[in-house]
């Protein structure tokens, strides 16, 4: 039997309200089935199950506001099939909740903790020969510092707990002082944490107000973004690179293609940029990775997180799975679908947790350049600016060309500028050959 | 229905835009300013608008003429001329 827990849909999520179960006790479920709907600051999300089995016991009730990691139900897993993780890239599960420290009296911080590693992912082979070493023997990766809520503890009266229990508590945002040891030694073990969560889930009172007012949601999303971005900016040593790309060939090709198509089949430059980015990442895989305590973990699938601004404020970053393997038509279809569902708060949990890199395309809204902040545990963010006509010299002749500014924000713990430069150069090459995209 | 009636065109266009950007109150929109800015729409939303215009008015706006429909005012004029 396995525990089905409130998933973490990103570093900026602390809790969610269970809106409804899509299954009942006794129902059979399969990997990928949507089994519940939850309300988060990013909107209502359909959450999936990642194993086959039977819903044995439902613990959480609709209306309850539940922290990430809370057991929602128990699934009796099918003996013949081993539990599976999320379909492609398992997100970093149960990232410790991020708290914004008060300005006047910052809460005590605890020693750095390990962020849970994503599911094992085969390292892409062969790696390019010039790749930066995955692990730096001299400089150990600096684990992120987790700022706990006001209930956090100081070193002196820290409860005694096994390393695993301590890690679990930290990951779930649980104060160890709330937990009683079940053995004589008084040391808290994994089993004590599990029993605490189980009891907590049982005792939770339903929240009367299921739907929060729009303004409150907006403020919460702002706070969540603020916390996640502050953490990223504080912990990730970003480096930035920028290049200008002549888009004449790509846009001419696109115009010609679109003139042969019906309106609804037209391809937008955004699809071209997504595909080119995904193919360039396949050539420079160190940027398609997560940074964890184990160092750089390259991801086999290239899932492009696409930043979508919400009109009511804030943003969401659903991922387009395996974008390098999809045609422009399929990418257009998926992009259109994902944008509409993001705007109507109908995304699936796996879409919010499987991104391996992020694209921001604010150029469409007018900015000439954008320098982004990495969405952890990813190690790169690509920013596309506005395509602007500029004087451009080719073979000694000056002409006017549509020019796109592309920036790369990358994690210097994971890669060096030479890797980033190689990626931008590859991207440029791909966009000069749009017919190959 | 008279698809060349300016009032009809305006009503239908606002309906289309309301479906794409329901959060925006059309009364607060400056018809002489960029549609993308006033309705906070991106290129995908803009394409959806063009597709819907084709469905409602039977007018296929070529990409080369997107420059003529950048504001609500320009769009209404363009559609009135095309009908």
* pLDDT confidence tier of residue A117, bands split at 50, 70 and 90: very low
A264:B45 CB<8 A:
no
- How confident is the model over A319-339, as a mean pLDDT? 96
Name the band, by pLDDT with cuts 50, 70 and 90, for residue A355. very high
Average pLDDT, chain A: 79
* pLDDT band with cut points at 50, 70 and 90 for residue A171: low
- Most confident of the ranges A192-196, A216-220, A421-425: A421-425
> Looking at the complex, does the CB of residue B36 fall below 8 Å from at least one CB of chain A?
yes
Q: Is residue A364 scored above 90 in pLDDT?
A: no
Residue A308: the pLDDT is 92
Chain-chain contact of B43 with A311 (C-beta, under 8 angstroms): no
How would residue A215 be classed by pLDDT, with cut points 50, 70 and 90? Answer: low
List helix spans (H) across A314-388: 328-343, 349-353
Cα–Cα distance between A37 and A44 in angstroms, integer? 7
What is the rounded CA–CA span in Å between residue A272 and residue A270? 5
Q: Is A267 on the interface with B (CB under 8 A)?
A: no
Is the pLDDT at A110 greater than 70? The verdict is no
A39-79 pLDDT, tens per residue?
A: 887 778 888 888 888 998 998 988 888 888 889 999 988 65
Q: Which of A252, A270, A265 is nearest to A433 (CA)?
A: A252
pLDDT at residue A6 is higher than 80: yes
**Structure confidence at residue A305 (pLDDT):** 96
- Which residues from chain B sit within 8 angstroms of residue A361, using beta carbons? 42
- For chain A, the C-alpha Rg in angstroms (whole number) is 23
CB contact under 8 A, A366 and B37: yes
- At A211 the pLDDT is 52
**A213 has pLDDT over 90:** no
Tokens 């988060």 belong to residue: A40
Q: B1 to chain A, minimum CA–CA distance in Å? A: 24
Place of tokens 């299921």: A210
- Crossing angle of helices B43-57 and B6-20, in 10° steps, is 140
Average pLDDT over residues A127-142: 37
Q: Which of A378, A369, A434, A382 is nearest to A411 (CA)?
A: A378
Give the range among A11-25, A75-89, A322-336 with minimum mean pLDDT: A75-89
Q: Which of B44, B59, B62 to mutate to test the interface with A (most CBs of A within 10 A)?
A: B44
Stretch A156-167: mean pLDDT: 71
Q: What are phi and psi of A279, to 5 degrees?
A: -70, -35
Q: How many A×B Cβ pairs under 8 Å?
A: 43
**Percent of chain A at pLDDT exceeding 70:** 76
Task: State the average pLDDT over residues A410-429.
Answer: 97
Question: Could you read off the pLDDT of B12-53 as tens digits, one per residue?
Answer: 999 999 999 998 988 899 999 999 999 999 999 999 999 999
d(CA A223, CA A97): 12
Residue A151 confidence (pLDDT) above 70: no
Residues on chain A touching B21 (C-beta within 8 angstroms): 311
Q: Is the pLDDT of residue A138 over 50?
A: no
Please provide the size of chain A in residues.
437
Contacts of B45 in chain A (CB under 8 A): 339
pLDDT at A243: 97
Report the pLDDT averaged over residues A306-330. Answer: 92
Task: Please give the ipTM for the structure prediction.
Answer: 0.87
> In this predicted model, what pLDDT tens digit does every residue of A337-347 receive, in sequence order?
999 998 888 88
Shortest distance between the Cα of A350 and any Cα of chain B, in A, equals 23
The predicted structure's pLDDT at residue A386: 93
What fold is seen in the domain B6-82?
1.10.1200
Token pair 């979508």 in the structure block, residue: A308
List the single residue in B with minimal CA-CA distance to A214: B23
Q: Does B29 touch chain A (CB under 8 A)?
A: no
Enumerate residues 6+ apart whose C-beta is below 8 A from A261. A267
CB contact under 8 A, B40 and A309: yes
pLDDT in tens, A16-35: 889 889 999 999 998 888 88
Asked if B63 reaches chain A (Cβ–Cβ under 8 Å), the answer is yes
Q: Using 50, 70 and 90 to split pLDDT, how confident is the model at A143? A: very low
Render pLDDT for A174-198 as a digit per residue (tens, 0 to 9).
777 778 788 777 778 778 877 777 6
Give the per-residue pLDDT at A174. Answer: 72
Indicate if the pLDDT at residue A286 is higher than 60: yes
Residue A236: name the closest of A117, A411, A113, A417 by CA: A411
Q: What's the CA gap between B17 and B27, in Å, rounded?
A: 12
Shortest Cα–Cα distance, A104 to chain B (Å): 37
Q: Would you place residue A238 in the very low, low, confident or very high pLDDT band (cuts 50, 70, 90)?
A: very high
| pLDDT at site A319 | 95
- Whole-number pLDDT of residue A343: 86
Cα A203-A9-A381 angle, rounded to 5 deg: 155
Average pLDDT over residues A13-17: 84
- What's the start-to-end Cα distance of chain B, in Å? 12
pLDDT reading at A289 higher than 80: yes
For chain A, list the domains and their CATH numbers. Answer: 1-91 (2.40.50.100), 237-436 (3.30.559.10)
What are the E-state strand segments in A59-187?
A: 65-67, 71-77
Residue B21's pLDDT is 92
Per-residue pLDDT at A178: 77
- The CA distance from B18 to the nearest CA of chain A, in Å, is 13
Average the pLDDT over A114-121 and give the result: 38
Q: What is the DSSP string of A373-389?
A: ---TTB-EEEEE---EE
Judge whether B79 is closer than 8 Å to chain A, CB to CB.
no
Q: Taking CA A318 as the corner, what is the angle to CA A337 and CA A325, rounded to the nearest 5 degrees?
A: 75
* CA distance between the termini of chain A: 45
């Amino acid at each position: 039997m396995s525990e089905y827990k409130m998933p973490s849909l990103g570093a900026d999520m602390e809790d969610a309200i269970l809106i409804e179960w899509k299954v009942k006790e006794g129902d059979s479920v399969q990997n990928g089935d949507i089994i519940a709907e939850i309300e988060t600051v990013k909107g209502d999300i359909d959450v999936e199950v990642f194993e086959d089995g039977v819903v044995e016991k439902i613990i959480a009730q609709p209306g309850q506001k539940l922290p990430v990691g809370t057991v929602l139900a128990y699934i009796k897993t099918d003996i013949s099939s081993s539990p599976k993780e999320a379909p492609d890239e398992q997100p970093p599960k149960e990232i410790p909740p991020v708290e914004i420290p008060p300005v006047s009296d910052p809460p005590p911080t605890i020693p750095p903790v390990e962020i849970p590693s994503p599911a094992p992912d085969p390292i892409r082979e062969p790696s390019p020969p010039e790749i930066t070493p995955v692990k730096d023997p001299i400089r150990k990766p600096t684990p992120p510092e987790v700022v706990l809520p006001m209930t956090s503890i100081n070193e002196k009266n820290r409860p005694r707990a096994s390393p695993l229990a301590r890690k679990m508590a930290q990951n779930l945002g649980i104060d160890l002082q709330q937990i009683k040891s079940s053995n004589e030694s008084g040391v808290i073990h994994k089993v004590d944490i599990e029993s605490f969560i189980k009891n907590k889930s049982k005792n939770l009172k339903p929240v009367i107000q299921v739907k929060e007012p729009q303004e409150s949601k907006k403020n919460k999303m702002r706070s969540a973004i603020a916390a996640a971005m502050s953490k990223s900016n504080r912990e990730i040593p970003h480096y930035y690179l920028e290049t200008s790309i002549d888009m004449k060939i790509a846009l001419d090709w696109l115009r010609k293609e679109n003139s042969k198509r019906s309106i609804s089949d037209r391809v937008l430059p955004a699809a071209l940029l997504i595909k080119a980015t995904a193919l360039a990442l396949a050539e420079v895989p160190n940027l398609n990775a997560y940074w964890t305590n184990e160092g750089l973990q390259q991801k086999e699938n290239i899932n492009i997180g696409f930043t979508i601004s919400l009109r009511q404020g804030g943003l969401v970053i659903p991922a387009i799975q395996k974008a390098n393997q999809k045609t422009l038509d399929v990418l257009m279809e998926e992009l259109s679908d994902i944008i509409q569902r993001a705007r109507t708060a109908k995304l699936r949990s796996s879409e919010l947790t499987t991104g391996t890199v992020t694209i921001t395309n604010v150029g469409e809204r007018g900015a000439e350049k954008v320098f982004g902040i990495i969405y952890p545990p990813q190690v790169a963010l690509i920013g596309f600016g506005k395509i602007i006509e500029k004087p451009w010299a080719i073979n000694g002749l000056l002409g006017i060309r549509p020019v796109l500014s592309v920036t790369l924000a990358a994690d210097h713990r994971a890669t060096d500028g030479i890797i980033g430069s190689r990626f931008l150069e590859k991207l440029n090459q791909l966009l000069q050959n749009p017919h190959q995209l | 229905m008279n698809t060349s009636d300016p009032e009809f065109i305006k009503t239908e266009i606002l309906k289309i835009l309301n479906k794409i950007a329901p959060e925006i109150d059309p009364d607060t929109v400056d018809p002489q300013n960029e549609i993308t800015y006033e309705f906070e729409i991106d290129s995908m939303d803009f394409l959806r608008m063009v597709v819907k215009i084709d469905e409602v008015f039977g007018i296929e706006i070529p990409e080369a003429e997107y420059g003529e429909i950048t504001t609500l005012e320009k769009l209404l004029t363009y559609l009135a001329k095309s009908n």
